Amino acid sequence: MSTVQVQEAYIVAATRTPIGKSGRGCFRNTRPDDLLIAALRGAMAQVPSLDPAAIEDAIVGCSFPEAEQGMNVARMAVLLAGLPSSVGGATVNRFCASGLTAIQMAADRIRVGEADVVIAGGVESMSLVPMGGNKPSFNPEMFTRDENVGIAYGMGLTAEKVAAQWKVSRERQDEFALASHQKAVAAIAGGEARDAITPVEVIGRRPNLDTGDVVKTSRLVDTDEGPRPDTTLEGLAKLKPVFAAKGSVTAGNSSQTSDGAGALILASEAAVKRFNLQPLARFVSFAVKGVPPEIMGIGPIEAIPAALKRAGISQNDLDWIELNEAFAAQALAVIDSVGLDRGKLNPYGGAIALGHPLGATGAIRAATLIHGLRRRGGRYGMLTMCVGTGQGAAGIFERL
């Protein structure tokens, strides 16, 4: 049965920045709030007839909202992007599903009739804010009961546990990783990824030691950095496990740590008509489910059926599936358990090739999915991911 609601929520703009490699890539010195500002401005540029004053709120996902992406980064970016001060801002955190949760929350505000135009987005700089944040602090109670110890597990260890329990071999993981790179490289070469990307100007500064002046440089980044055309099975097979001495999870079959942002604009039918907007897609359904933290990667196994049921469709109705590749091990466990069609999965590659800027990924992959459905003529698309500490989330979109 479909969700009962007052009105539909339509996506009228969707964009993302390119994804940079953390620590050594194009955005290593770029503030995450500046990445979000670029995404917000890119989304607004897609709807020139929309009065910015009609936007009620901006809901933005971020996995570690502190330091350069703290201070309620959503509200800060709204103001710095030049949107009216009347536009609100809230930062939300569901770790890897933060961006998708932001979309769900924005859609629900519209679907229950509380708002007509809401921005949703996601942002993360893993260059400037490390995994776990700058000062991680675990509650000691986590270690007093066996069932809670998994909360403190590193994500790589959870992937090893999934690989062992679901019997996902190293060879299959490496083959999956290679396919991710091959699809991403092909999509970039064919220009298919460009529809969703807002290029970002990166400003560099260096001292001129002769004159004492600061030399300013500028370059436009318009392409994802992660995909490697030279990836081979032989090369992947040479990599050593990084999370368990006798494990199978390597840097090559895991998602890349990354920097990036995404932004979407959602509107009601009344706002679509009032501002002469062109709906790209309809937000159909969302589901989140909890699973044991130590095998967090299998979360989509529980979330996918729930989201499909709420949408009133079956897997066969899906034309595009964005399954976030946190690790090849967990992605394959989900594919095997749910029976996902590999031919519809991550057509432009996934996080192993493209990167996974944590809280931004949901918004980034939603932009990819929406523009991909339009380019290839599909109708229904699903975005799903596992979530640290043991959750799975899934959202379904319909191209219009």
What residues are annotated to the active site? 96, 356, 386
Give every CB contact of residue 365 below 8 A, 6+ residues apart in sequence.
99, 322, 324, 383
Q: Which residues pair with 200 in a beta bridge?
A: 221
- What does the alpha-carbon distance between residue 199 and residue 221 come to, in Å, rounded to a whole number? 5
From the CB of residue 360, how many other CB atoms can be counted at a distance below 10 Å? 38
What angle, 0 to 180 degrees and rounded to 10, lies between the N-to-C axes of helices 170-189 and 328-338? 100
The answer to whether 85 and 79 are in contact (CB under 8 A) is yes
Of 130, 122, 132, 135, the C-alpha closest to 154 is: 132
User: CA 375, 378, 379, 385 torsion: positive or negative?
Assistant: negative
* Residues sharing a CB contact under 8 Å with residue 103, sequence separation 6 or more, in sequence order: 120, 264, 266, 283, 362, 363, 366, 395
- Distance between start and end Cα atoms, the chain: 21
Tell me the residue ranges of DSSP E strands in the chain: 10-16, 20-21, 57-61, 90-92, 117-125, 200-207, 214-221, 258-267, 281-290, 318-323, 380-387, 391-399
Report the SS3 class of residue 229: coil
Residue type at 144 in one-letter notation: T
Distance CA 55, CA 287 (A): 26
SS3 388: coil
Give the span between the Cα atoms of 321 and 337, in whole angstroms.
Answer: 15
Residue 365: how many CA atoms within 13 Å on its side-chain side?
39
Most distant pair of Cα atoms in the chain: their distance: 71
